[in-house]
Amino acid sequence: MRRIWIVLGLLALPGCEGASSDDADAVVITLPDAAPDMAPPPDMAPPPDMAPAPDLAPPPDMAPPATDVCDALDLPRRPFETDGVGVAFGDRAGDFTLELLDGGTFTLSARWTGCESYVFLNYFNDLRAIPGGSPWPDDALFETSLSGLVTDGPRNVHYLFTSYAPEPDDRVARMTALRDALAGVLADLDDAEAAYWRARFHFVTERSADMSGGVGDFFAAQMAAVYDADQRVDLGDRGVFGVPLPNAFGIDREQRWDPAGTLDPYIGAASELSMAAWLGHFYDHKAALADRIAAEAADTTVVPLLDDTVTDRIFVRTVTLPPADEMAAFDRLDLDIAVRCPHRNPFACSEWDRIARIEWCADPECAERAEIVRWITPYWRRGERRWLIDASPFLPWMTAGGEQTFRIEMGPGWERATEREARISLRLRTTGGPMPLGAERAFTGGPFNAEYNMREPFVFTPPPEAEAVELILILSGHGQTDDYSCAEWCDHRHAFTLNDAPLETVRSGPGIGQLDTCARRARDGVPPGQWGNWAPGRAYWCPGLPVDLIRIDITGDVMPGVENTLSYEGQFRGGAPLGGDIALSAYVIWSR
């Protein structure tokens, strides 16, 4: 079990009155460890196919909103593709047509704008033949509020509701109840806004098992995996786990299947339909990243570090950079990191929120190295996550070009081996921005205890030609003490003094412990639907997201050409460190 202590001034919990001062008391939330909440599946056969839905005579079809969403949101369009369709995660979705409650149909190619995504939410009735041998609580799930899909989801998403229930009347009743629930949500909106969202909810009356076309093929492949004993994963003393039912999945803006994952907000909580709101934001992130990479392709030099299907987690790679005269022109370095778990079963994916990083090695053996980017691995997430992480401040170490060595770490080497596809490369560009001239490591972290602040000041001398100087931090807190769950869930702060003058204290922000802080960062790349405590906010990080560079401009406080002294201490509530671990790489960078 995990216990999470949360400063009440940082969140509002149901039934709790929060304080606003920095010295607020704390409360504790106890969350189970990130383990699947499923019983080991027995060998069972799927239920027989049922009769298809009859013709219905529903109310007239609703007209789509007059506003073109691509133009309104200034989003690029993608053409609908018919080649290369498949049923694996990441494959292109093939065309399909579905019968709707309002008497109309939903055809993917006809609805396709090239700037929208599509989220499916699937009701499963009392299926005792599903692995686990007991009813699934979908009645409770489908009675949760739809309001979050409207208030928290992006405006360029469609929601399609389907049902596995064999009886047509049951499916109609379920979809009618959902439509009525949506009407209650939209009643608080003005007419135009209500019409906009009404056109984005689609209630399907044909049985999900009988869907045809691309979505039928995909759904059938998912259900086949649910019953496939070979897809089960043995987690040792935690049991053997089969493929979860596809309560949710999506088609992203690149027309590719995404597994979506769990609708639980955190481990031990009941599933909520509103958790699907974050999927559209994640799809927007992926589309924007793909557009950026395509736009920068012509003037980018790409150096691959890793492109393989791997089970190991730690790699040392020597690559050849451009020669020194070409390296001297680059002012931008990004690490392009894409990791894909291809398995149908999420429990075959990596399971923990581990520190991952890439380090530059000062020697071929990597005996001396320095961290240049960091990210946190997600809990049990199928499909692909991808980020570009800025490492431009560290270009001065690579100006010699030629052979350079890097160390890639995607979690501890002792962790359970899981197969995944990893593509990592350096992307070098000339943008006309500041040119990094030098970089020196000032401080590192360690156990956040009484000895943490027993460190010497850092003395540095920037060259006279330095026009800008920055203090740059790669910072995240980890570990959970009994009293305050430090340093993962507590508000620790970091104070620097330059030439005896205090700099602004670095704070982790107000979102620690709030139950949706990391969910809201799906637009930055947090993969929704992780099978773990992914949605609540941490101290300086989120599962499945790069750790942001903290950049502090100290140009006005630095004296070029002479010695400068930088001091540092970690604090908890303005006092001494309390516990846990601080992962810190602090650098002084100068540029012109």
Structure tokens at 115: 């700037």
pLDDT tens, position by position, 454-501: 999 999 999 999 999 999 999 999 998 887 889 999 999 999 999 999
Q: What pLDDT does 268 receive?
A: 86
The rounded distance, in Å, linking the Cα atoms of 282 and 277 is 10
- What three-state secondary structure class fits 41? coil
pLDDT band at residue 66 using 50, 70 and 90 as cut-offs: very low
What is the dihedral sign for C-alpha 262, 266, 268, 274?
Answer: negative
Give the N- to C-terminal CA distance of the chain in Å, as an integer: 51
pLDDT band at residue 12 using 50, 70 and 90 as cut-offs: very low
Please name the residue ranges forming H helices in 10-167. 69-72, 108-111, 138-141, 147-151
* 242 pLDDT above the threshold of 50: yes
**Mean pLDDT value of segment 401-416:** 95
- What three-state secondary structure class fits 561? coil
Q: What pLDDT does 136 receive?
A: 54
Residue whose pair of structure tokens reads 């079963």 in the numeric block: 345
DSSP bridge partners of 100: 204
* 226 pLDDT above the threshold of 60: yes
- Angle made by CA atoms 409, 414, 419, in degrees to the nearest 5: 70
How many DSSP H helices and E strands does the chain contain? Answer: 9, 27
What DSSP designation does 481 have? -
Amino acid in the structure at residue 515: L
Other Cβ atoms closer than 10 A to 256:
22
pLDDT tens, position by position, 31-57: 334 444 443 333 434 444 434 443 333
The rounded distance, in Å, linking the Cα atoms of 142 and 275 is 12
* 358 pLDDT above the threshold of 50: yes
pLDDT tens, position by position, 171-212: 999 999 999 999 999 999 999 999 999 999 999 999 999 999
Q: What pLDDT does 126 receive?
A: 61
pLDDT tens, position by position, 131-185: 544 445 578 899 999 999 999 999 999 999 999 999 999 999 999 999 999 999 9
Residue 119 to residues 161, 409, 517, 537, 578, Cα–Cα distance (Å)? 9, 33, 22, 25, 43
pLDDT tens, position by position, 521-563: 999 999 999 999 999 999 999 999 999 999 999 999 999 999 9
To the nearest 10°, report the CA torsion of 287, 311, 406, 431.
-10
- Residues ≥6 apart with Cβ < 8 Å to 347: 36, 233, 235, 241, 380, 531
CA 473 distance to own-chain centroid: 21
DSSP bridge partners of 256: 92
Radius of gyration from C-alpha coordinates of the chain: 26
Domains and CATH numbers, the chain: 2-31 (no CATH), 69-260 (3.40.30.10)
Instruction: Report whether 203 contacts 175 (CB < 8 A).
Output: yes
**Mean pLDDT value of segment 326-340:** 97
Q: What pLDDT does 309 receive?
A: 97
What DSSP designation does 17 have? P
pLDDT band at residue 67 using 50, 70 and 90 as cut-offs: low
Q: What mean pLDDT value characterizes the chain?
A: 88
Core vs surface per residue 57-94: b (16+ CB within 10 A) or e: ebeeeeeebeeebbeeeebeebebbeeebbbebbbbbb
Instruction: Report whether 331 contacts 435 (CB < 8 A).
Output: yes
Burial of 145 (0-12, 13-18, 19+ CB in 10 A): middle
The rounded distance, in Å, linking the Cα atoms of 383 and 362 is 34
CA proximity to 496, closest of 415, 540, 551: 551
φ/ψ of 544, rounded to 5, equals 80, 30
Structure tokens at 81: 């593709």
